[in-house]
Structure 1
């Protein structure tokens, strides 16, 4: 994992790009179940391996795992039958933009908190805040999403 300079946080929706694998944008839906976390990570690894540097890939896969886990754990995607999580990955000029969309939640919203050293969880968005070049979230009537950008140095 690499430390970066100042973090730029941006609220609101992420940049949209056409879903077109030939232009480096991919989209896939996953069931709102824990088993989807390693499946999503392996899918992204297959897409990005050889396209970006290994340390950058490690950061992207770690952050993707954390954000998908949060979507399943804290949204209706993991609490309702048939819940879904959608992952969109864009790779352009060595930078990777990931957006994870879930079914939303009436009781929670994404928030960074500093975990206690002995806690088992609570590090997802803290890691995103630490490692991503930029990140943000937005919520609408149809659900919510968290996105992050990991840029080459």
Structure 2
């Protein structure tokens, strides 16, 4: 099965008073490069008390790669007012992160083996390497695309 054909789980809203080890959060960011460190800081703040440091580092790194791709390669970063939405879901077994952007008519998410002397091109390669599962999907009923990943933890 191709990654873009995988089923996207939907985040469940956080329930007040629920087990503090579980949670679901959503935040929208502008489709600009400055959103990358903002999203990293937001996710780190949510998950720092919930995850082991090594797992937290992996999640924040992969989020950074995916949101960078969304801002760089989708209409979210190419059109005025573009937005990127990040969903983070955590339970006792894993962290699920989904980044939704405005889509692109000229590119689709794909893993490329990076050149050793290249400054970029490692985003989905790292996701494929570190995540326990990942995928992407185009939204048929609306403009946009999502890339998601899951990390055990």
TM score, norm. by length of structure 1: 0.90
How far did 1:124 drift?
Answer: 0.1
Distance 1:53-1:118 versus aligned 2 partners, 3 A rule: same
1:17 to 6, 11, 23: 11
* Separation in structure 1 between the aligned mates of residue 109 and residue 148 of structure 2, nearest angstrom: 11
Q: 1:82 & 1:10 partners in 2: Cα distance? A: 26
Question: Hey, what's the Cα distance between the residues in 2 that align with 1:89 and 1:53?
Answer: 16
Which secondary structure state, in structure 2, belongs to the residue aligned with residue 65 of structure 1? Answer: helix
Specify the SS of the correspondent of 2:61. helix
The alignment status of 1:46 with 2:45, answered yes or no, reads yes
The one-character-per-residue Cα deviations of 1:87-110 (angstroms, maximum 9, x if unpaired) are: 000010041000000000000000
Root-mean-square deviation over aligned CA pairs: 1.6
**What SS class does the counterpart of residue 8 from structure 2 fall into?**
coil
Using the TM superposition, give the Cα deviation of residue 14 of structure 1 relative to its aligned residue in structure 2, in angstroms.
1.6
TM-score using structure 2 length = 0.90
Partner SS for 1:66: helix
Asked if the contact 1:128/1:148 (under 8 Å) is kept, the reply is: yes
SS in 2 for 1:122: coil
Question: Structure 2: which 5+ residue stretches go unaligned?
Answer: 17-21
Aligned length: 145
Query: Over residues 48-90 of structure 1, what are the superposed CA-to-partner deviations in whole Å (9 max), with x where a residue is unaligned?
Result: 0110111000000000000000000000000000000000000
Task: Determine the structure 2 residue equivalent to 1:69.
Answer: 68
Corresponding residue of 2:88: 89
Shift of the alpha carbon at 1:12? 3.2
In structure 2, C-alpha distance between the alignment counterparts of 1:78 and 1:10, rounded to whole Å? 21
CA shift in 2, pair 1:56/1:10, >3 Å: farther
Say which SS state the counterpart of residue 135 (structure 1) adopts.
strand
